[in-house]
Structure 1
Amino acid sequence: MIRAAIATVLLAAVPLAALSLPEPSAARSAPERASEWQIGPILRGRSYSPGMPRYATDANGETFFDIPWPTPREGHVHYVTVPTGSLTGARRIVLRYRIEGERGVRIVPEESPQKKATLSLYFQRGGDNWSAKGRYATYRWYAPAAMMGPLTPGTHEVSVPLDANWTAVQGANRNSAPEAFARALEDASRVGFVLGSSGGRGHGVFATAPARFTILDFWVE
């Protein structure tokens, strides 16, 4: 099951009021149902993760999705997110996950198959029109390149502080655009992770053989 340690951690560490945090959001309470994990993105009713279900699967106490295989023609998976409210005052985002597959299976970036497949933690400001132009160039934020997670068989954990130098969709970063980053945190609407490569965050991956991605744990604290 997925848990969210935010409430427990904050109450144990410091009074909630001292951090001036908003009421717990979907990111701060456990996404207990797989239906909260949307696979997309979904734009104007269309999924940009072709060949994938709209939501993750929940079975036998685990939340997972199967990565399309063996070529991009069968599909590819890009963004996996849950709804959230404001992230102002939060310290970090953490994801634990497991990848299982047939012997020798590889996860491959759909856009740049010669590169290594990567996972990046992610959050998005509400009201994004997905143009990445003008003010919307700082509505989507991705973890720093040095803090991306692997897409290889095994169990992995990625933990990214929110005071790290996150990167926006068009290349601005927290250091160069601190006000835009702060506004994105305040108005956050979705949080989760994206799959792709270092040169194409969220541009999608496929597998060379059957492979399953299981979300073991996810929380914001």
Structure 2
Amino acid sequence: MYSKIFASAVVAATLTTAACAASPPARHWEIGPVIRGKNYSQGMPRNPEPAHNGWSFDFPAPDAAAGHVHYVTFRPGPIAGKSRIVVRYRVDAAPDTRFVPQETPDVPATVSVYFQRRGDNWNGQGSFQYYRWYAPSATVRRIAPGEQEVSIRFDDPNWTSVNGRKPASAPGAIDDALADIDRIGLVFGSSGRRGHGVFATAPARFTLLSFQIL
């Protein structure tokens, strides 16, 4: 079914092999989030599939009834001394394919980076509003066919907490989250609802080429 859409993917992957650093293997990544036993990425497998240089998954299609992908994350372990994240990925789809945020279908679908502190209860209240941090808006990418590279510094002042607060509003909170990091990865949604889920209107594939914490 995907032969025509993804015929060029093998060639592209071959050309970019030397430029792609090793990322955690697919089995270490989780498609979720899983909160109190419920996986919010409906219609998705628990893990992405191994790919030539990283991993891949197929977007649920052709509508929200088929499912939607929200978070794809892994546990990085301590990251002391690291200063930035560099992500490379590719989206393969027919040119007329639409990517749709399942909660806000009238705005563009996006992919961006986030990280999460250990022990988050997901309610975003009190101190927990500073447990999840979403990458600066300038690094958010609209989902569309093609290859992208995004570089984000951990000390960028425009990271956003789960309730839209910047690091300056709670001095030390983002540093505490980084020092006790649990998960890091990609979120799919919209610019206003980063990890609230995306589906495609036709067959489409997301391939992670590299996820580096440097």
TM-score range, shorter chain: 0.7 to 0.9
Partner of 1:143: 135
- Distance in 2 (CA, whole Å) between partners of 1:101 and 1:201 is 21
* 1:144-202 Cα deviation digits (max 9, x unpaired): 11211221000011111111121000122112223111100000011111011111010
Partner of 1:199: 192
- Aligned CA RMSD, in angstroms, stands at 1.5
Task: Choose from 33, 39, 48 the match for 1:41.
Answer: 33
- Distance in 2 (CA, whole Å) between partners of 1:169 and 1:60 is 34
Partner of 1:105: 97
Q: Secondary structure at the match of 2:62?
A: coil
Partner of 2:21: 3
Which ranges in structure 2 are unaligned for 5 or more consecutive residues?
Answer: 1-16
Which AA in structure 1 matches 2:131?
A: Y
Which runs of structure 2 are paired with 1:22-41 in the superposition (5 Å)?
30-31=23-24, 33-41=25-33
Q: Is 2:165 the partner of 1:172?
A: yes
Q: Percent identity?
A: 51
- Distance in 1 (CA, whole Å) between partners of 2:43 and 2:164 is 29
Which AA in structure 2 matches 1:66?
A: D
Task: Choose from 140, 151, 158 the match for 2:150.
Answer: 158
- TM-score (structure 1 length as normaliser): 0.84
Q: Secondary structure at the match of 2:121?
A: coil
Asked if structure 1 preserves the Cα contact closer than 8 Å seen for 2:93 and 2:145, the reply is: yes
Deviating beyond 6 angstroms after TM superposition, the runs of 4 or more aligned structure 1 residues are: none
- The total of aligned residue pairs comes to 195
Partner of 1:213: 206
Q: Secondary structure at the match of 2:65?
A: helix
Which ranges in structure 1 are unaligned for 5 or more consecutive residues?
Answer: 5-29
Alpha-carbon spacing, 1:193–1:60, altered in 2? closer, same or farther (3 Å): closer
